[in-house]
Structure formats: structure tokens, C-alpha cells
């Protein structure tokens, strides 16, 4: 009687063989980044050592059996090191600053003098700062509530201020400010329009009294820059104001430096390029010759 064969059990298929290839790939990738990192950290000294080693290796190559082949020297081109020339202090600039500061003090004293009645009762303040003189006038002195038309007494006071400002050369910014009480009518939909028109009214009066228009700027800030809290009537009254900012900006004409051009930047020592229309259209001057260092 024939014996029945047992069915051969199927071999178990290994589904994790891909891990071997993946591990090899990760190892090679890690080695690649290690080599790249080591090459990126080579400094100039190590580079020269490597260059010398390569030169020594190539010198040992026999060219014709009689002697060693002569390897041409490696030339490393480096720009010459030029010492930085110290900037020479501009004595004329310092003198201009002193003269400007004195002019600003004289202007502040003159404005206080013409507005003395208003400064004594606290309706006008004149302050001096690092950037110029600020004259703050309470809006109740200049305008009726919700209006932007200058009154008669206000016009007289501003004409006196305009007489002081017309004799100077400094830029002037007139700022209009309001409190946070909303306004809405056919002329002023919001406090932005009211503050801007009030500042423009003061600017127009200054122009009519001799202040050059190119020195004037009008700006309206509504209730965005308060100087006091709007939770009380006294604070809201302080916020309703017109500020006249006289900027102590120096004239743009700069004196010529004593030491000529800076050694590194090829510009004047005060950082301003020479005002030469011809040099501005010519091609740049080629750099000086480089030093050559031979590695044999």
C-alpha cells in the first residue's frame, strides 16, 4: 500500500529584507554629510597644508626617466591689506551745530516774548528739545468748538509767531490734535478732517505772513496722540491743541573733509560721496594690483 506523502510546508517569506538596504543607504548618507561638514570646516591654514602636500606628491612623478617633472608654482592671489584711515573730525560741522543750537534758543525766547500773555496763563507752552522747538497752543485760543476758522485774536498772535519764523531757515510742521469726542457734520465727518483743516488754516496764515511754503507741513492726528487722559474735561481740553514743530535740521551742504577720501570705502570721510557729475557717469577705477604669493 503506497504511503501518502505529507504536503511540504511553505517556506515563510521574510518581509523585512528591505531594512538591510535602507540601513546601508542611511549609513552612506551619514558618511557623505560627515565628509561635507569636515570639508566645510577647513580653514585657510589647512588649505595651504593640503596644497603643499599635493605639490610634494606631484613632484615625485617621473616625467622622462631622467629626472622629476617640474611642477609650476601655485599662485595664491590675495588682495593687499590697506590700513583704515581714521576719520578727521569736522570742525566746521561742530561750529554749525553750536550756531544752530544758539539760533533755536533765540527763536524760542522770541516766541515766548510775543506770546507772553498766553504763556503766563498756561494756554501756550514753548519747549526746547534735542530735535528743535515745540510750541503747543490750546485749540480754544485759536478756534471755536467744532470749527476750523481762526479768530481775530488768534490771528494776531499767530502773525507775531510767523514774523519770528519767517526770518529763520528751519523746517516747520503744524500738527492738529483733538480729543476723543466724536464729531460728524457736513463739513467734518470725523476728527481726522477737523484736525487736518485746523493745521492747514495755521499753515495758510503763516504763508500769508512771509513764511516760505516749502518749509511748511500740515498734519492732522485727530485723537491718536493725546497728552492727557480723555476721562476728564481738563484732560480733553489739553488734548485739543495745535502744535508747531520747528525742526533743528542742519543745512544739507557739508564741508569738504580735510583728509580727502577714505582708504577703504573710496568715499569722503563723512560718508557722503563727492558731488561730481562727471565722476558719477565714468566707469569705476580699477582696483590696485594684487600681491602674488608663490607656494613652491
* Cα–Cα distance, 225 to 215 (Å, whole number): 23
Instruction: Identify the pLDDT of residue 198.
Output: 92
In sequence order, the β-bridge partners of residue 6 are none
* Cα–Cα distance, 49 to 18 (Å, whole number): 44
Query: Which distant-in-sequence residues (6+ apart) come within 8 Å of 22 by Cβ?
Result: none
Instruction: Identify the pLDDT of residue 205.
Output: 93
Query: Which distant-in-sequence residues (6+ apart) come within 8 Å of 222 by Cβ?
Result: 177, 178, 190, 191, 192, 194, 195
Helix axes 152-166, 191-208, angle to 10 degrees: 60
Residue 267: count of CB within 10 angstroms of its CB: 13
Query: Which distant-in-sequence residues (6+ apart) come within 8 Å of 219 by Cβ?
Result: 173, 174, 175, 176, 196, 199
pTM: 0.55
Q: What are phi and psi of 120, to 5 degrees?
A: -70, -35
Is residue 295 classed as helix, strand or coil in its secondary structure? strand
- Give kind and range of the element (H or E) at residue 245: strand 241-247
Helix axes 91-114, 152-166, angle to 10 degrees: 160
- Residue range(s) occupied by CATH 3.30.1330.60 in the chain: 91-247
Instruction: Identify the pLDDT of residue 80.
Output: 65
- Give kind and range of the element (H or E) at residue 127: strand 124-129
| Residue range 185-196, pLDDT digits in tens | 888 999 999 999
Name residues of the chain where pLDDT drops below 70: 1-13, 40-47, 60-89, 250-296
Instruction: Identify the pLDDT of residue 76.
Output: 56
Instruction: Identify the pLDDT of residue 8.
Output: 58
Instruction: Identify the pLDDT of residue 264.
Output: 44
* Superfamily of the domain at 91-247: OmpA-like domain (3.30.1330.60)
> Grid coordinates standing for 281?
557717469
Looking only at the bridges linking them, the beta strands covering 74-78 and 132-138 are unpaired
With helix as H, strand as E and coil as C, how does 210-275 read?
CCCHHHEEEEECCCCCCCCCCCCHHHHHHHCEEEEEEECCCCCCCCCCCCCECCCCCCECCCCCCC
In sequence order, the β-bridge partners of residue 246 are 133, 172
Amino acid at each position: 500500500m503506497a504511503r501518502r506523502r505529507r504536503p511540504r510546508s511553505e517556506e515563510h517569506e521574510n518581509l523585512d529584507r528591505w531594512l538591510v538596504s535602507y540601513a546601508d543607504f542611511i549609513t552612506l548618507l551619514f558618511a557623505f554629510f560627515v565628509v561635507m561638514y569636515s570639508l566645510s570646516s577647513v580653514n585657510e591654514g589647512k588649505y595651504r597644508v593640503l596644497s603643499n602636500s599635493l605639490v610634494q606628491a606631484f613632484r615625485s612623478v617621473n616625467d622622462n626617466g631622467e629626472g622629476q617633472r617640474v611642477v609650476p608654482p601655485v599662485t595664491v592671489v590675495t588682495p593687499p591689506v590697506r590700513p583704515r584711515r581714521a576719520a578727521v573730525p569736522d570742525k566746521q560741522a561742530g561750529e554749525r551745530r553750536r550756531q544752530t543750537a544758539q539760533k533755536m534758543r533765540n527763536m524760542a525766547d522770541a516766541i515766548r516774548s510775543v506770546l507772553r500773555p498766553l504763556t503766563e496763563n498756561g494756554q501756550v507752552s514753548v519747549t526746547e528739545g534735542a530735535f528743535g522747538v515745540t510750541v503747543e497752543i490750546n485749540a480754544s485760543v485759536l478756534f471755536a468748538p467744532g470749527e476750523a476758522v481762526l479768530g481775530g485774536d488768534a490771528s494776531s498772535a499767530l502773525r507775531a509767531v510767523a514774523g519770528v519764523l519767517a526770518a529763520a531757515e528751519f523746517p516747520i510742521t503744524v500738527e492738529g490734535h483733538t480729543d476723543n469726542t466724536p464729531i460728524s457734520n457736513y463739513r467734518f465727518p470725523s476728527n481726522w478732517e477737523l484736525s487736518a483743516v485746523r493745521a492747514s488754516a495755521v499753515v495758510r496764515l503763516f504763508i500769508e505772513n512771509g513764511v516760505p511754503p516749502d518749509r511748511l507741513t500740515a498734519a492732522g492726528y485727530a485723537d491718536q496722540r493725546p497728552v492727557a487722559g480723555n476721562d476728564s474735561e481738563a484732560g480733553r481740553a489739553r488734548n485739543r491743541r495745535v502744535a508747531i514743530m520747528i525742526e533743528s535740521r542742519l543745512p544739507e551742504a557739508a564741508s569738504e573733509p580735510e583728509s580727502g577720501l577714505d582708504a577703504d570705502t573710496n568715499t569722503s570721510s563723512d560718508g557722503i560721496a563727492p558731488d561730481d557729475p562727471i565722476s558719477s557717469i565714468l566707469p569705476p577705477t580699477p582696483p590696485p594690483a594684487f600681491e602674488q604669493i608663490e607656494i613652491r
